[in-house]
Amino acid sequence: AIPQGGVNDAIAFPPPSPSHGSYHWVFERSLSAALVPLTAAAFVTSASANPILDGVLGLSLVVHSHLGFDQAVVDYLHPRKFPLLGPITTWTLRAATVATAVGVFQFNTNDIGLTELIAKVWTA
């Protein structure tokens, strides 16, 4: 859809949707809060003893990072004001998130894993 009006005109509000409003906010905050005990549990146990926990931590970090960067893109590079740069940045972020998720999965399955790497760096 082609936006109507100029960059200084008011934007029409979208229809209210609980899945895009408060549920979205609750999911972001719940994920952020869950990362604290998840990170502690991942470091208390070793990744080789519990690889599922290592995978959940890696996926949670990728999703948490994506949500944060996505909010910055939505807030500062809105497609109505930046019709070319906004969508390019959004799709670049999506591609980077998928690439990062694949990389974390490969690292967790074919190498020492995320928590073992951080533990080694921490004690180095």
Does 24 appear as a known binding residue?
Answer: no
Does 23 appear as a known binding residue?
Answer: no
CA 87, CA 79: separation in Å to the nearest integer?
6
The CATH number linked to 85 is: 1.20.1300.10
Give residue 88's domain range: 51-123
User: How does pLDDT run along the chain (124 residues), one tens digit per residue?
Assistant: 566 677 777 777 777 776 667 788 889 999 999 999 988 888 777 656 778 888 999 999 999 999 999 999 999 998 888 999 999 999 999 999 999 999 999 999 998 888 888 778 878 7
- Residue 35 domain-assigned? no
- Residue 23 domain-assigned? no
Domain count of the fold of the chain: 1
pTM of the model: 0.78
